[in-house]
Amino acid sequence: MGSSHHKHSGNPLTPVIAGVFLTIGFGPLLAAFFFNLWKFDTYQFFPMALAGAGLLFWRSLNEVERPLGYGSGWLTFPLSLLFLTMLATAAAMWSPWLGAAAFFLSLATGAWWLGGWPLWKAVFPAWLLLLTILPPPLKFDARFALLLQEWATTGSSRVLGILGIPHFLTGLIIEIPGQRLLVEEACSGINSVLFMTSACVFYAMWQRRSLLFLGVLYTSTICCVLFGNLGRITSGAWLLFYYQIDLFHGWKHEALGLVLTGVYLGSIVAMDALLAALTTIHKHRHHSLDPNADKTPILDGVFFEGSVKFIAVLLVLLGGVQFLRGWQFYSGRDAAQIVNPDWMDGSAKFSMAQEFDGWRLVSEPKPVPKRAAFEDGVYSHIWKYAKGGMIVTVSLDYPFFHYHDVTVCYRGAGWQIRDKKIERASTTNGLVPCMLVAMEKEGGINADLFVSTINETGVWLEEPGGGSPFGEKGVPLAEGSLFERLSHRFRQLPNSTDALDQGMNYRIQLLAAARGGLSLAQRRDVQKFFETARMHLAGQFVDVRPVAASTPDATRQAVQEAINSIQQGVENAPDATERAIQQAIKAAEDGSESFPSATDKAVQQAIRALKESPVETVDATKRVILEAIKDAEVQDKSNQSRSDL
């Protein structure tokens, strides 16, 4: 167990002093972690989990037998090195999740150091409960939620078939005559699973159950919640079909949720009692405190010297780094943010014209509030337009915390994704990127989906590269494979303020569906309408910034040299111009991640003009290059006006 604590002279490390150093060393990152955690409905139970962990911790400290001895250094040292490394990385990169993980590990390390195995075993129940509020990295909880939705939908469909209720299953939607039930809205089960498993851990640890007992109880709790949600969806569809009683919306939905919560909690207690009566896989120990027992404080005998002083200094230094990085992060966000989240709360009013280039408004918009797993409160404003027999749907959805791949939702609605690509910013689309999705559905229905997402700083996100959530080939990194998610996360860590998808995002989309699909002319007309509607909507709540800023000075200078080459000698113009233009492109690539597509397009036209028509070289090349410079100057003036404001 190690040597006992020794009394000696010096300044003792009291709980107050230890708490001060822990607050300084972990406080900023922990505050940010819990602030972010509150944005997700699925984890808003964490205050209760913290209170439960506090109760378990307090009871364990009062019951652990004294005297205690230090834990062996062979484990204390590597654990200390690990949590300090994690904390330093979290502070430098401003990663609240990593900071919280480092804090939880430091608690386990401190318990081992101060009391060895007896103290570590005593505080383990509280520590285990804390882990239930730490989300898995790389958004794997979102994938788990999707699996639960698919399971609940498929299971409900099978039960409805047994009950003889006519229905049609499309993705995550169950259609009964006259009604379409979206499982995500009804109840996916993820909220209940996370809360109930945390409650299960608390109850089992409070009852002093073994880990094997906890494993059995934990599994039974998950099964109970899953079948409970299955029954909820199935019974709701049954009542709606036969008696027109809607349990999926309004106060009835909320009341049923509270009733099921009580049932789940009762099932945990009942299953625990049943397992205790039928099995011997647990050890239920009854503790009676001896009034004469040694109640020496855990920190008694620990003084500011040696490794204690070293760790205290490191915590203060790392706390200072956190304050600086946190101030830099949030001040940078506040300075760049031009969308007011308080105003964008679902009550915002947006106006759409009755007609856009022949497209007529055929529906009155109404804000549609939704509460979806792993998203902040999402609101949708929907408009329908018609032209020449086509009806399209335009919607504004907001706000999303982190980038959200909309194709996940469409898969849930029964669509199959045939093709997905990114259209980069160019002069042909107003310097605004867009995601183009081709989809199909049973019955020969094909659809084209156009999506553009703008963040709280006015930057469009579908442009690959840099801090964008898309890779260079247009792959959505945050929703991709494990390797893509890891590379995306590590790419953002060095300068998290440039992670474009880490703040609040606002999505504008257009869906055009038709049996057999749209013709090429129809698709072009629809996309043109989307680009018009997109700018009309975005301009009502954000100062829109094109993705491409302005041509670098080096590029403009090189292009001017190309013009001079043309003017000085037509005979040598092709080679001189092509060489200068290639230098212009290289200069733009070296000086900026994204230079205007207008310049790129213009210089390519210039090269073609040089090669294909030597007679008209001077006029053709000069014209397109001057147009490129003009476009760049317009962008410069626009950006300068924004900076002046």
- Per-residue pLDDT for 588 more than 60? no
Tell me: do 126 and 147 sit in the same domain.
no
Tell me: do 126 and 144 sit in the same domain.
no
Residue 407 falls inside a structural domain: yes
Rounded Cα–Cα distance for residues 167 and 597 (Å):
50
Q: How far is the CA of 423 from the CAs of 307, 428, 446, 488, in angstroms?
A: 57, 11, 20, 20
Minimum mean pLDDT range among 89-98, 280-289, 531-540:
280-289
Tell me: do 636 and 612 sit in the same domain.
yes
Tell me: do 583 and 635 sit in the same domain.
yes
Rounded Cα–Cα distance for residues 557 and 544 (Å):
28
- Per-residue pLDDT for 615 more than 90? no
Tell me: do 624 and 599 sit in the same domain.
yes
Tell me: do 387 and 485 sit in the same domain.
yes
Give this prediction's pTM. Answer: 0.71
CB 112 within 8 Å of CB 124:
no
| pLDDT, position 544 | 62
* CA angle (457, 137, 91) in 5-degree steps: 65
List pLDDT tens digits, range 275-302. Answer: 988 876 545 455 555 555 556 667 666 6
| pLDDT, position 386 | 94
Greatest mean pLDDT among 50-64, 561-575, 621-635 lies in 50-64
Domain that holds residue 361: 355-538
Q: Residue 557 contacts by C-beta under 8 Å, 6 or more apart in sequence?
A: 587
The residue type found at 194 is: L
At 176, the pLDDT band (50, 70, 90 cuts) reads: confident
- Per-residue pLDDT for 436 more than 80? yes
Residue 484 falls inside a structural domain: yes
* CA angle (289, 293, 294) in 5-degree steps: 130
Q: Give the pLDDT mean for 620-629.
A: 60
Q: Is the dihedral of CA 336, 339, 340, 345 positive or negative?
A: negative
Rounded Cα–Cα distance for residues 609 and 401 (Å):
47
Tell me: do 419 and 484 sit in the same domain.
yes
Q: What are the helix (H) ranges across 401-519?
A: 406-412, 482-492
Rounded Cα–Cα distance for residues 621 and 636 (Å):
23
What token pair was written down for 551? 């041509």
Q: Give the pLDDT mean for 442-470.
A: 85
Strands laid side by side in the 168-170 sheet: 168-170, 173-176, 179-182
Tell me: do 120 and 170 sit in the same domain.
no
Residue closest to 153 by CA, chosen among 196, 195, 189: 189
| pLDDT, position 185 | 40
Minimum mean pLDDT range among 34-43, 51-60, 340-349, 445-454:
340-349
Tell me: do 46 and 95 sit in the same domain.
yes
Tell me: do 533 and 480 sit in the same domain.
yes
The residue type found at 521 is: A
Tell me: do 92 and 74 sit in the same domain.
yes
- Per-residue pLDDT for 603 more than 80? no
Q: Give the pLDDT mean for 519-548.
A: 84
| pLDDT, position 500 | 65
For the chain, report the end-to-end CA distance as a whole number of angstroms. Answer: 66
Q: Give the pLDDT mean for 265-275.
A: 94
Residue 190 falls inside a structural domain: yes
| pLDDT, position 358 | 92
Element (H, E) at 386: strand 378-387
At 48, the pLDDT band (50, 70, 90 cuts) reads: very high
| pLDDT, position 606 | 58
Element (H, E) at 233: helix 211-243
Higher pLDDT, 10 or 583: 583
- Per-residue pLDDT for 389 more than 90? no
Higher pLDDT, 564 or 261: 261
Tell me: do 479 and 503 sit in the same domain.
yes
Greatest pairwise CA separation for the chain in angstroms: 107
Residue 545 falls inside a structural domain: no
| pLDDT, position 444 | 84
Q: Give the pLDDT mean for 459-475.
A: 76
What's the domain count of the chain? 4
- Per-residue pLDDT for 488 more than 90? no
